[in-house]
């Protein structure tokens, strides 16, 4: 669905990182964690292509959705100047969502979010806790404390948050993936389900750890994409399904995939 959505909140929350909330009841009503919206960042044809952003918050009651984005290039730079009250041309909700309907409330869940890949972990934590899961832990990683998303975005969902930074300026010093083994060792809730979104190296490490330990794991992939709706075929990746290699589109069959089906390019 394509709509013009008014901006109701837009503020800087970390170094070059912004929180953008839109009033868009039609999209909020049907959106699920893991899905994304495609935003036209300028009012003209520059930039021409929309930019994809995962949903970090879905408030079905209020009819609002939020994204958290980092200013990287021309599109996000223009987006960061849009004031509250302006309307944005957006398409959504797009793509596949995290699959959570089969997860028992007795299970635990570990959500690994790296850098600017972490935002969808907030809406996912909210949904899992809403399902009654006893223990939802977010492992939140960033290069440094300046790049770290505010912990409160995740703790307010009821999730426990553990922080890791590469330079040790906040939380554990090291990669966020190093926190994973101690969080999946069972305990009162048994083996948890793992979800991850972040840089490719992090996703490979999380996927490989979970596969070798028999832990169910879903990964949200990022790919450069143009149309966002499956027409241009610009974002294909390879997956292994029923024993054979298939080409799928990250924008429509993804961005969420089972760790066991993702084939990484070396
Ligand atoms: C499913 C999905 C979810 C995402 N969620 C988030 C999020 O929650 N927060 C966030 O900060 N970023 C997210 N990204 C990445 C975000 O879309 C890019 O940072 C953004 O498109 C960069 O635009 P730009 O104009 O500022 O950068 P530029 O580098 O100037 O863009 C140049 C060109 O590259 C394309 N491009 C560059 N990087 C990407 C990319 N990763 N994906 C698609 N097109 C790209 C742009 O469309 C443009 O044509 C997500 C990407 C995907 C695929």
Backbone angles phi, psi at 14, to 5 degrees: -160, -175
Q: Hey, is 69 helix, strand or coil?
A: strand
Other Cβ atoms closer than 10 A to 16: 15
> What gap in Å lies between CA 217 and CA 219, rounded to an integer?
7
Report pLDDT digits (tens) over 65-97: 999 999 999 999 999 999 999 999 999 999 999
pLDDT digits (tens, 9 = 90+) for 157-186: 999 999 999 999 999 999 999 999 999 876
Q: Whose CA is nearest to atom 32 of ligand 1?
A: 73
Taken in order of first residue, the domains within the chain and their CATH numbers are 2-94 (2.40.30.10), 108-220 (3.40.50.80), 226-266 (no CATH)
Burial class (CB in 10 A: 0-12, 13-18, 19+), 249: buried
Of 146, 47, 32, give the one whose Cα is nearest residue 98.
Answer: 32
Atom 36 of ligand 1 has which residue's CA nearest to it?
Answer: 224
Strands (E), 145-212: 160-165, 172-173, 193-197
The mean of the pLDDT values for the chain is 94
Mutate to test the pocket of ligand 1, among 51, 124, 218 (most ligand atoms within 8 A of CB): 51
pTM: 0.94
């Amino acid at each position: 669905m394509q709509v013009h959505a008014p901006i109701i909140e837009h503020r800087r929350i970390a170094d070059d990182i912004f929180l953008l909330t839109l009033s868009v009841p039609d999209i909020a009503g049907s959106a699920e964690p893991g899905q994304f919206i495609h935003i036209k960042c300028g009012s003209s044809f520059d930039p021409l292509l929309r930019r994809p952003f995962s949903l970090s918050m879905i408030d079905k009651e209020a009819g609002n959705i939020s994204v958290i984005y980092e200013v990287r290039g021309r599109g996000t730079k223009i987006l960061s100047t849009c004031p509250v009250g302006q309307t944005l041309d957006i398409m959504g909700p797009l793509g596949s969502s995290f699959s959570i309907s089969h997860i028992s409330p007795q299970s635990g869940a570990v959500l690994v979010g790296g850098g600017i890949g972490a935002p969808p972990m907030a809406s996912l934590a909210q949904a899992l806790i809403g399902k009654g899961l006893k223990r939802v832990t977010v492992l939140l990683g960033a290069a440094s404390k300046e790049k770290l998303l505010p912990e409160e975005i995740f703790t307010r969902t009821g999730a426990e948050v553990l922080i890791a930074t590469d330079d040790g300026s906040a939380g554990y010093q090291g990669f966020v993936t190093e926190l994973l083994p101690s969080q999946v060792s069972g305990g009162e809730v048994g083996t948890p389900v793992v979800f991850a979104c972040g840089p490719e190296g992090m996703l490979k490490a999380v996927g490989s750890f979970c596969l070798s330990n028999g832990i169910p794991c879903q990964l949200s992939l990022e790919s450069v994409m143009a149309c966002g709706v499956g027409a241009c075929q610009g974002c294909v990746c390879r997956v292994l399904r029923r024993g054979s290699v298939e080409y799928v589109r990250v924008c429509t069959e993804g961005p969420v995939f089972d760790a066991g089906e993702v084939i990484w390019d070396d």
